Structure 1
Amino acid sequence: MRIGILTGGGDVPGLNPCIKAVTTAAGEQGWEVLGFRRGWEGPLFCDPEDPQGNQKYLMRLDREAVRTIDRTGGTILHTTRTDPRRITEDKLPPFLKGRFVPSPDGTLDCTPHILRVMEHLGIDVIVTIGGDGTLTYSAHLHRQGFNLISIPKTMDNDVFGTDYCIGFSTAVSRSVEHINSLRTSTGSHERIAVIELFGRNSGETALISSYLADADRALIAEVPFDVTRLAELVMVDRARNPSNYAIVVISEGARMLGGGVVRHGEADEHGRRRFGGIGQILGEEIARITGVDAISQSLGYLMRAGAPDALDQMVARSYGALAVQMIAEGRTGLMTVIRDGKYDIVPADTCLSGKRRVDVAALYDTDTYRPRIANIHGKAMFLN
């Protein structure tokens, strides 16, 4: 048996422990493990006619290769946001140019090539670790008849079908640490701090981080906010604080009433522009309305930097071991999940069945822009 493995999308703490767990458990079964570098770009850029040239996209994994990787963050396999169903001709490797018919939007579906590479390399099952984009393509590949197991990871904790994704706990821990650290300068200068966190479509990371850091206000992606009303509330918060400062936490996907989500920079090869910048805009607006200087700080990649915390170590290892367990039982086309506090499996295409978002009615006060955790009994560990 030969197992393939790749990591796609944004990196999070916990990817390396998951890779190690899959490799170790597969080795105990006597199976080979072959890692694809750079997410789905790895198999996309592999040329069955050029085995020597493929080496930079492949990494053989065994116990020695993964012995110490769980001590660090990121992914030794590296990662991209490549989607083999939405590639433009200019992004293809030379040997694939001219082989696919463009769809009406000008993109190419290179899935036949991905399947050819898997067959050429003798991959029996592939384990894919990623967020919505990676797992959506994984579900598509399974529908084409290929055997796989998906493992959810994302700092936003927004993959539908699971209560927990690798990386979420560490992202919250990092955020709480930095929010509290920023109290020093904010209080010294008697300002208002606007701290932007990752969270495109789901505000769960901002909600839980602000709840644990006891921030004054939290703005989440699911609820548009009135900046004038917010400014009034924040000035009350500042006046009540003996150190005369206030803290506002905001999701990168949050938006003002009547405004859109802020994006910046040039579009990538898939036509996507990066989210972010709403924190800076909000800080400037608050300063204009209140006359009080604002500190605008995006935590950005600090949220996903460094080694995973104990919870992400535990979940990453368990998901990896569960994936190999399912393969050993001859069960594929699945996604590892946590449901009701227990490790479980669901069909790989479950992630396509809905959208995971903050339960606003149960967890958020839309009038005061604050977490509102009125009922703890029966809630999951992260109150989601």
Structure 2
Amino acid sequence: MRIGILTGGGDVPGLNPCIRSITLSADDLGWEVVGFRRGWEGVLGIDPTDSESIARGSLTLTREGVRGIDRTGGTILHTSRLDPRTLAAGDQTTKVLDVLSAMGVDAMITLGGDGTLRFSAHLSEQGVPVISIPKTMDNDVYGTDYCIGFSTAVSRSVEAINALRTTVESHERIGVIELFGRRSGETALLAGFLAQVDRTVISEVPADLDRLLPLLEEDKRSSPGHYAMCVVSEGARLEGENGNGDSQLSRSASERDDIGVGHRLARAVKARLGCGVVLQELAYLMRAGEPDAMDRMVGLAFGGLAIQLLQRGEAGRMVTLKGGNYGHVPAGTLLEGIKSVDVPSLYDRTAYRAKLMRVEGMPMFLY
């Protein structure tokens, strides 16, 4: 059997351990693995009749070739944000199917977030044996409790938030730290909780400045160090703003017309409270560097499970972690809902803080 794999969307730590796990597990069965470079963009760029084109867009993955990659972040296959159905030239699904067929690919394993896996579900409907592996540091793929990259993003964020305390306290300011999280505030919620910041603003709940700013002012006044810390999701909104919504956030930072919510909140703090602000967008630093232990473990496990499913003839599935247990669901499950913070259970919208209604019986990440 010949397995094709690719990584799409943003890079996260944990992808390389997953790639290695897929390769080793397939090799144990005598299967061949071909990696497509740059996600679906790489597949579309291949002319199966041109050996140079094939070499530019793919590479054979071997046991020796993936040695040691589990210790590094990012993805050795590189990545792109592209859905073959949304190109100016029209739906390119047929081109994808033709390339996979011409290259003798018997099944695909795709590592990606919501966009990548939506097309994977579409391919499954076209009859292609597909196993989807969810990855995104926002942890917002519907149907699974956990996505590769989430733990490392939270760990990086907590480290950075706590490191920034020394500067914020030294200058007796209010720290505003913006974290990635377009539709889900889970990364900000958990990072803010673990770093024990004063206030956390998440994507799901618009911030009322008439309530939030006095809270931050009191936090600063009552702190022995005369400072306060506030974490905000990049997808959060300030009440009264219209903005351009998700259309702006779907662009790279250099292409956006509007300034981020962290900047807007920092300006409001300065204008209305009259105190200094330390503003920090962690952005890509959240996904940079090697994976932590959790993402190495989940990456290795997801990769192994993907091959086991194909070995059993169970395609059209997305591997999952639910309630602390590995499993799998139909590949189209992510289309059935939106994953976001359970606000009534986990967030105090009046205090802008995480809350724990109960702990007993809940999974490790408390969602």
| TM-score normalised by L of structure 1 | 0.92
Aligned residue among 126, 129, 150 for 1:144: 126
Match in the other structure for 1:27: 27
Match in the other structure for 1:2: 2
Shift of 1:377: 1.4
Aligned residue among 111, 114, 117 for 2:99: 117
Q: How many residues align?
A: 364
Residue 206 of structure 2: SS of its match in structure 1?
coil
Match in the other structure for 1:156: 138
Shift of 1:47: 1.1
Match in the other structure for 2:260: 277
**Mapped partners of 1:260, 1:377: distance in 2:** 40
Match in the other structure for 1:41: 41
Residue 5 of structure 2: SS of its match in structure 1?
strand
The verdict on how the C-alpha distance between 1:275 and 1:321 changes in structure 2, with shifts beyond 3 A counting, is farther
Match in the other structure for 1:288: 271
Contact 1:253–1:275 at 8 Å: present in 2 too? no
Match in the other structure for 1:74: 74
Match in the other structure for 1:357: 340
**Mapped partners of 1:314, 1:166: distance in 2:** 9
Shift of 1:53: 2.0
Residue 16 of structure 1: SS of its match in structure 2?
helix
**Mapped partners of 1:375, 1:267: distance in 2:** 35
Contact 1:217–1:369 at 8 Å: present in 2 too? yes
Shift of 1:275: 8.7
Aligned residue among 138, 144, 163 for 1:181: 163
Match in the other structure for 1:171: 153
Shift of 1:240: 1.2
Residue 176 of structure 2: SS of its match in structure 1?
strand
Match in the other structure for 1:84: 84
Match in the other structure for 1:18: 18
**Mapped partners of 1:382, 1:267: distance in 2:** 26
**Mapped partners of 1:262, 1:190: distance in 2:** 34
**Mapped partners of 2:72, 2:290: distance in 1:** 5
Match in the other structure for 2:308: 325
Contact 1:156–1:205 at 8 Å: present in 2 too? yes
Residue 182 of structure 1: SS of its match in structure 2?
helix
Deviations 1:308-352 (A, max 9, x none): 000111000000000000011111000000112110010000010
Residue 40 of structure 1: SS of its match in structure 2?
helix
Whether 1:302 aligns to 2:306 is: no
Shift of 1:277: 1.1
Aligned residue among 205, 211, 226 for 2:208: 226
Match in the other structure for 1:198: 180
The verdict on how the C-alpha distance between 1:120 and 1:275 changes in structure 2, with shifts beyond 3 A counting, is farther
Whether 1:247 aligns to 2:229 is: yes
Aligned residue identity for 1:324: I
Q: Unaligned 5+ residue runs, structure 2?
A: none
The verdict on how the C-alpha distance between 1:373 and 1:199 changes in structure 2, with shifts beyond 3 A counting, is same
Residue 215 of structure 1: SS of its match in structure 2?
coil
| TM-score normalised by L of structure 2 | 0.96
Contact 2:45–2:53 at 8 Å: present in 1 too? no
Contact 2:235–2:249 at 8 Å: present in 1 too? no
Contact 1:255–1:262 at 8 Å: present in 2 too? no
Q: Unaligned 5+ residue runs, structure 1?
A: 90-107
Whether 1:381 aligns to 2:352 is: no
Shift of 1:229: 1.6
CA RMSD of aligned residues (A): 1.7
**Mapped partners of 2:256, 2:363: distance in 1:** 34
Aligned residue among 328, 335, 347 for 2:330: 347
Aligned residue identity for 2:281: S
Identity of aligned residues (%): 54
Aligned residue among 313, 319, 327 for 1:336: 319
Shift of 1:140: 0.5
**Mapped partners of 2:259, 2:301: distance in 1:** 33
**Mapped partners of 1:328, 1:67: distance in 2:** 23
Whether 1:312 aligns to 2:291 is: no
Deviations 1:237-259 (A, max 9, x none): 00111000000000000001121
Residue 112 of structure 1: SS of its match in structure 2?
helix
The verdict on how the C-alpha distance between 1:190 and 1:267 changes in structure 2, with shifts beyond 3 A counting, is closer
Aligned residue identity for 1:12: V
